[in-house]
Amino acid sequence: MQKTEKFTFRFYLLTLNKVLEQPRKFFSELPQESELKKPFGFLAVSSLFFAVASTVSGMCPNPFVIGSIFFINAIGMVFISAGIGYMTMTMIMGRNVTFVKFFSIYAFASGVTLLASWIPFFIWVTEPWKWWLIGTGMIKACGFSWKQACLIIGISIVILVLFFKSLIPVIFYVRSLYLDSNSF
């Protein structure tokens, strides 16, 4: 059995540098059998930076609660989008890649873009960049064609939008229950 390397801040900085300088080369060098520890660690550090920066720049009244929500949301969205992307890939192409490798692509791409996502209005730059990095990862690390990667990403985005759009009535209903119970 292969000894697993631990996640270090040095690994974080080296990975960040590689993804920013040469994303195609970085994703083509992803190991075939990857673990969840390093991609998750990379994502967690970037999510922590995102949560702190978003909370501080927003001058939130309850910074610990808001920061925790930002942190959980940053990590959770990567798991949700990677899961939807993996299910989409499985339905279209079968199981060509493990979920861990698929998640690694999403975690490294999202981790890099989270570092700038806290800046107001940068979502218009970071979201397309994130999806471009994910597509590059699918092509270079998984061996998909650009058409397959675009199809998986396109369907995933549509499913994500429809999923969150369908949650809006539920959120308003739960919010109305909360507001009704606190009105007395």
Three-state DSSP class for 117?
helix
For the cut 70, the answer to whether the pLDDT of residue 13 exceeds it is yes
- Please report where in the chains the tokens 């080369």 appear, as a residue: 25
For the cut 50, the answer to whether the pLDDT of residue 1 exceeds it is no
Q: What is the pTM of this model?
A: 0.90
CA distances from 135 to 69, 141, 149, 152, 166 (A): 28, 10, 5, 9, 26
Residues 6+ apart with CB under 8 A from 164: none
**For the segment 54-89, what is each residue's pLDDT rounded down to a tens digit?**
999 988 888 999 999 999 999 999 999 999 999 999
- The larger pLDDT score, comparing residue 1 to residue 69, is at 69
Q: Report residue 133 as tokens.
A: 């990095």
In 10 A of CB 78, how many CB atoms? 24
For the cut 60, the answer to whether the pLDDT of residue 33 exceeds it is yes
Question: How many angstroms separate the CA atoms of 87 and 138, rounded?
Answer: 14
Nearest CA to 54 out of 45, 62, 66 is that of 66
pLDDT of residue 107: 97
**Mean pLDDT of the region 7-13:** 92
